[in-house]
């Protein structure tokens, strides 16, 4: 299953009460929706508007010259021509009521075009970061210390300046009162800032005694449903706008032992190559000493 989908499912909360209407935040919903969904909603609204005005024109009888009486097809075609300000000249309003309906539809068409243009432009111009995260996070020795590590790559090929990451772990804990709750704790990274994120970045969190992950074992990872949430934010040098990326690792995506495969190579002319085909690969290692039990 795609990790983004898993993360979205984990963040999904069904809200009840509060008097919220499904259309109360429709714009934000469309901004978060995929392009096919957005175009589908816009096209559906376009058909619905024309269908409603087509019924209105049909009710006028002979109010539209050139339209066959009782023909929904002709009425729908005339509505499309009016809404889109095409006006082929084959059909035209001839009664006062028909002119009023045409005026209302022309106004509706202007609003619909303005809203659709604004929505499409906002989605198209929204700054995004194309950051690839490794599919797994490793817990393995680094500089002699058990360390949580994962890596990121800038797939766009430009530079993200003043990039910073924040890493949080979440786990189930049981309080003294016997209640089970989800706790979120920040993880201190070896380096949480980068002046220029252009190629790859491997993030390290040493699991020392003051780490929330101290004493973590493969069994406790599964038992406590430990997860890792990563957020990255920086300034896109090309468009001079702030971009962000986020990723999460479920308990079954945290691997003990091993090391990531090298993805950077150097060519004969001195240039470097980033092999994203091997970006998620790691070499398992057996017998590596992991974080000791903390007794909790």
Digit-coded pLDDT (tens) for 26-40 = 888 888 889 999 999
Note whether 87 and 159 are same-domain residues.
no
Note whether 170 and 69 are same-domain residues.
no
pLDDT tens-digit series, residues 226-253:
999 999 999 998 888 999 999 999 999 9
Q: Domain boundary residue among 110, 125, 140?
A: 125
Note whether 220 and 142 are same-domain residues.
yes
Closest CA to 201 of 131, 143, 270: 131
Tell me the DSSP string of 256-271: ES-EEPP-EEE-TTS-
Mean pLDDT for each consecutive 10-residue tract of the chain (296 residues)? 47 58 76 92 96 94 89 94 89 93 95 94 88 94 92 89 94 81 91 91 94 91 92 91 93 91 84 85 65 37
Q: Write the CATH number for 36.
A: 1.10.287.70
Residue 68 lies in a domain: yes
Please state the separation of Cα 48 from the chain's center in Å.
29
Residue 5 lies in a domain: no
CB 283 within 8 A of CB 136: no
Tell me the DSSP string of 113-168: HHHHHHHHHHHHH-----EEE-SSEEEEEETTEEEEEEEEEETTSS-EEEEEEEEE
Please count the structural domains in the chain: 2
Residue 11 lies in a domain: no
pLDDT of residue 140: 92
Note whether 138 and 279 are same-domain residues.
yes
pTM for the structure as a whole:
0.71
């Amino acid at each position: 299953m795609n990790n983004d989908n898993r993360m979205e499912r984990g963040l999904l909360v069904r809200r009840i009460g509060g008097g919220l209407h499904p259309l109360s935040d429709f714009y934000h919903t469309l901004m978060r929706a995929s392009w096919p969904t957005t175009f589908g909603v816009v096209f559906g609204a376009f058909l619905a508007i024309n269908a409603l005005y087509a019924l209105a024109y049909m009710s006028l009888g002979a109010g539209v010259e050139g339209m066959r009486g009782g023909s929904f097809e002709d009425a729908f075609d005339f509505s499309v021509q009016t809404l889109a300000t095409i006006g082929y000249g084959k059909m035209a309003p001839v009664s006062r009521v028909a002119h009023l309906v045409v005026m209302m539809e022309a106004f509706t068409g202007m609003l619909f075009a303005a809203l659709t243009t604004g929505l499409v432009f906002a989605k198209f111009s929204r700054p995004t970061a194309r950051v690839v995260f490794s599919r797994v996070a490793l817990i393995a020795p680094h500089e002699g210390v058990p360390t949580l590590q994962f890596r990121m790559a800038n797939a766009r090929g430009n530079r993200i300046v003043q990039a910073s990451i924040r890493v949080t772990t979440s786990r189930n804990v049981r309080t003294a009162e016997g209640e089970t709750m989800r706790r979120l704790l920040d993880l201190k990274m070896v380096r949480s800032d980068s002046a220029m994120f252009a190629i790859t970045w491997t993030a390290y969190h040493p699991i020392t005694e003051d780490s929330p992950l101290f004493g973590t074992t493969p069994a406790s990872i599964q038992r406590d449903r430990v997860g890792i949430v990563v957020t990255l934010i920086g300034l896109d040098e090309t468009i001079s706008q702030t971009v962000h990326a986020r990723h999460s690792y479920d308990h079954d995506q945290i691997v003990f032992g091993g090391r990531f495969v090298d993805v950077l190579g150097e060519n004969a002319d001195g240039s470097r190559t980033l092999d994203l085909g091997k970006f998620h690969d790691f070499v398992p290692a057996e017998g590596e000493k992991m974080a000791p039990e903390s007794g909790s």
